A and B are shown apart, each in its own frame.
Chain A
Amino acid sequence: MAKLILSMDGLVLKEIQLSKERTTIGRKPHNDIQIDNLAVSGEHAVIVTILADSFLEDLGSTNGTFVNGKTVKKHFLQNNDVIELGKYKLKYMAEAQPGAVKAADFEKTMILRPGAMRKPPAPAAPAPAHVETAPAGAAAATPPADAAARSHAATQVGITAASVGVSASTPASVPTPTHAPSPAPAPAAPARHAMLKLMSGGNAGKELELTKPLTTLGKPGVQVAVITRRPQGFFITHVEGANKPIVNGKPIEQQAHALNDHDVIELAGVKVEFFFKR
């Protein structure tokens, strides 16, 4: 259960468990948390708790409610938020993580309904005993290549341009972005920066950083491969086209192929080097 720690001038006065759905804060005695100070309104604020989440709402107080120094009307409380009312501070401490063991259980989807317990009806007709949970045939009809290509040409080019635009084989298709390595936001990206360098064609020598989880290479409808960024490293996979990409002189298999430093990829007539930036 989440709790609030009431303090003034760094002195802890009280600890309050958020056990009720509504916990009111104010100067008047009927409040759940009474703060007898003239800077605090009679009914100052309320904290609405729904299961594990708590929301703070200002009740039109005279001097306002502040969270982490900012005035708020309504606020979704986060762990360690500090609520200020006049000179008083209330620190919000979210529920201690339910033991790691139970965490998995907690995430299980559960049904929530207002009318909880109800009488089970008299035993009904025998129900089907056990049904195997097996995916029934997931047949995949092969699309006519031209239709697939047509419908996806536009989007594919779009993403190529957005990600890196390695389709340099046809200068007309996508203007290669003027060499400007996009700022790598890389929240959970591996520490090493993976790069691609064009080795042939008009844009030979251009380098592109692989910043996205997915980067497509090639020409839609002719030959397309994708490089995926995973926790284990970078992998290249064949997407479409009769020919598979060639890595270090050998065509790759159907499954994803792990890329190593200085691997040379040949695809749709273009040679690209994959390497890690030091």
Chain B
Amino acid sequence: MDLSQALEVASHTDPGMVRSNNEDSIASVPEHGLVVLADGMGGYNAGEVASGMATTVLTTELRQMLEEHAPHEVDPQSGQKAAAKMLQQQIAKANSSIFQAAQSQPQYAGMGTTLVVALFYDNKVMVAHIGDSRLYRMRGDEFSQVSKDHSLLQEQIDAGMLTKEQAKGSSNKNLVTRAMGIDPAVEPEIHEYDTQPGDIYLLCSDGLSDMVSDEDIGMALQALGANLNLAVQQLVQMANDNGGRDNVSVVLVKILRDYPAGQGLAKKIFGWFR
């Protein structure tokens, strides 16, 4: 099923005002409802190798799988949606590729990457993330953060040591507690959400969320939601106007209409006799 009529995708990545190279990587396969964003780290240029590997492995492998399997089908044994299983498998694969490259090539030692992936199907979205790259949702007037960072700061907030307000003043913003490519195995956090026509989903690296307040991001999406390309440019520009201290990457996905999973041929035939 081609989702490019139901979803509008716009994206942009920018090195920012301070860094010379861009260690972020973004990719999308609109016809399969797949968007990926990774924020690489470590070593001389190795960060972009890690994030590039993550997005490339995930898009090529998932594209192939989605052509053969329907993501909404439920595996009778595990009770798991095919989408969750696919994401889990391919993230594991990408993780081990990055890990092995980092282990075998000295110039890549210590590289890793954060990740946020959204896979849209059957009026739903399956979101997987690792680290502090985020997914936000704009529904009606409400703009909210959907994914929860795997970071020291978030753990401190959860433990009640810091309030969200205090967290803005913390100097430990840059420490993630989970990343791809660091260990032989990684555990992504995967959740499924219902989507509604008119929703706008934002995937971004910390270069946006650290530089621009959630309130201002929400305001930009409210004002420019009718023109996604402009909204993407505006968000990157706001991050850069505020200092642009890190690479900035933004992916926006707008739900234009419902996209229920296609009924199988067999079901259609049975439907006639009902």
Contact = CB atoms under 8 A, between A and B. Distances in A.
Interface of A: 50-53, 55, 74, 76, 78, 94-95, 104, 106-113, 120-121, 123-128, 130-144, 147-149, 151-152, 154-156, 158-159, 163, 212-216, 220, 224, 226, 228, 230-231, 237, 239-240
21 contacts: A76-B170, A107-B246, A109-B175, A109-B176, A112-B152, A112-B177, A120-B103, A124-B103, A127-B105, A135-B12, A138-B10, A141-B9, A143-B256, A155-B140, A158-B222, A213-B220, A214-B223, A224-B226, A226-B223, A237-B234, A239-B227
B254 interface: yes
Nearest to B170: A53
A159 B49 CA distance: 41
Interface of B: 4-5, 7-13, 18-19, 22-30, 39-42, 48-49, 51-53, 55-56, 59, 97, 100-101, 103-105, 108, 112, 114, 131-132, 140-141, 152, 156, 161-162, 166, 169-179, 182-184, 197-198, 206, 216, 219-220, 222-230, 234, 237-238, 241, 245-246, 251, 254, 256-257
A113 B177 contact: yes
A140 B228 contact: yes
A136 B59 contact: yes
B131 to A, nearest CB: 8
A132 B245 CA distance: 23
Contacts of A124: 100, 103-104
Given A76-B166, A112-B177, A237-B230, 12 more contacts: A94-B171, A109-B174, A109-B176, A109-B206, A110-B176, A127-B97, A132-B52, A133-B48, A133-B52, A149-B226, A151-B198, A159-B223
A127 B174 contact: no
Contacts, number: 201
Contact of A144 (B11, B140, B220, B256): B256
A237 B177 CA distance: 40
Contact of A52 (B53, B172, B198): B172
Nearest to B100: A124
Contacts of A237: 230, 234
A67 to B, nearest CB: 13
Nearest to B165: A76
A216 B222 CA distance: 9
Contacts of A154: 140
A215 B12 CA distance: 22
A109 B52 contact: no
